[in-house]
Amino acid sequence: MAVIIPLFTPHEGCLHTCIFCNQRHIRPNPEPIGPQQITDTINTWLARLRPQQQQTTQSTQAARTVEVAFYGGSFTALPRQRQENLLHAVQPFLAQGLVQGIRLSTRPDSIDTDTLYMLKRAGVHLIELGVQSCDDAVLARSGRGHSHEDTLRASRLIRKAGLQLGWQLMLGMPGEGFTAIRRKVAACIQERPDCIRIYPLVVLRGSRLAEEWRDGRFRPLSLKKAVLFCAYMKSHFDAHKLPIIRMGLQASSDLKEYLLAGPYYPAFGELVRARMMLKRTRTLLSGYHQKEPCILRIAPQDVSAFVGMKRSNMHRLEELGLSTRFTLKLDARLPRQSLRLDTSLQHFQ
């Protein structure tokens, strides 16, 4: 996996006000990031990474690639000169081989072929689209200002330009029931992005959604439901070999300061993996009918997913009378996220 050096252009280029976004409220006049700040940030990161990279080279492992990412705004909606200035600041690092690529995030309705080729020439190799939903009614209810057709069009143009494609998906948007979630999963499987992020929606102070939440017009998903829905999405994406690079919001000082309600949990992805492991364990054990306990094997790194947060999976297995039906063994030869009953290897991913 690449090391990502994140550079933030918060709300820059965005002409919209999504119902869940509070950027306009908390940064009415954001100080735009400039070339010197970009150079300094990259240099700081590279200095911090140097010892790790040397260590991996000495241990004959390949050093991890380093990428610069422009996140937080709608990069391709910025004026062309501003885009070029931002990218220009990264060029010396690309030329020296200190950074191997650039990725950025943007809106689906801000993509055109000419811009894509300019980005490609400047070293951009991956564009993450803020897709959020594939249902036009759900998109409209959140004031996204783009349609699912825009997402499909942008995805195809990105691919046609020879760039990699990422989809950022939200979970628990206003008006989003299970049917819309299923539609989102199906559309994603159809388009096959190179990477996916899943963010459960939370209510932030200063957003329009905060008003709806206060007067009871909107209720966010509970943490339990968000985990269940996310596990549903992940199981389908895993089955189609679509890589998920993040589940859950990244902890940040902004989030801590502005979070009002919603399914935020710092290790959200772990909760999802634990939920999937419990389901798989139950399925395997329900098909095991011998008198003696069986042996279940997992990779050593999966112990916490097997046990669950605060031993929740173990408690549930006890309630179901299944905790005495197996002996757990750690097996370093197993790939992560697999569960093995005796000799038959079963992947649940």
Query: Which residues sit at the interface with ligand SF4, rule CB under 6 A?
Result: 11, 14, 16-18, 21, 23, 74, 107, 130
Q: In whole angstroms, how close is the CB of 151 to ligand SF4 at the nearest point?
A: 13
> What is the H or E stretch that residue 281 is in?
helix 268-286
d(CA 10, CA 27): 8
Residue whose structure tokens are 């409220």: 25
**Cβ pair 340, 288 in contact under 8 A:** no
Smaller CB separation from ligand SF4, 105 or 313: 105
Residue 150 or 302: the one with the smaller Cβ distance to ligand SF4 is 150
Give burial (CB, 10 Å; 0-12/13-18/19+) of 30: middle
The residue among 14 and 296 lying less far from ligand SF4, judged by its C-beta, is: 14
Q: Which is nearer to ligand SF4, 77 or 339 (CB)?
A: 77
DSSP 65: P
How far apart are CB 348 and ligand SF4 at their closest, in Å? 33
User: Locate tokens 């957003």: which residue?
Assistant: 207
- Closest CB to ligand SF4 among 263 and 308? 263
Residue 66's beta-bridge partner residues?
3
CB 163 to ligand SF4: min, Å:
20
Of 211 and 342, nearer to ligand SF4 (C-beta) is 211
Determine contact, residues 132/126, Cβ cutoff 8 Å: no
Nearest-approach distance from CB 218 to ligand SF4, in angstroms: 16
CA 325 to chain centre: 36
- Cβ at position 193, least distance to ligand SF4 in Å: 18
Token pair in block for residue 171: 């979970």
CB of 216 to ligand SF4, least distance (A): 23
Give the DSSP H or E segment for 121. Answer: helix 113-121
Distance CA 90, CA 185 (A): 35
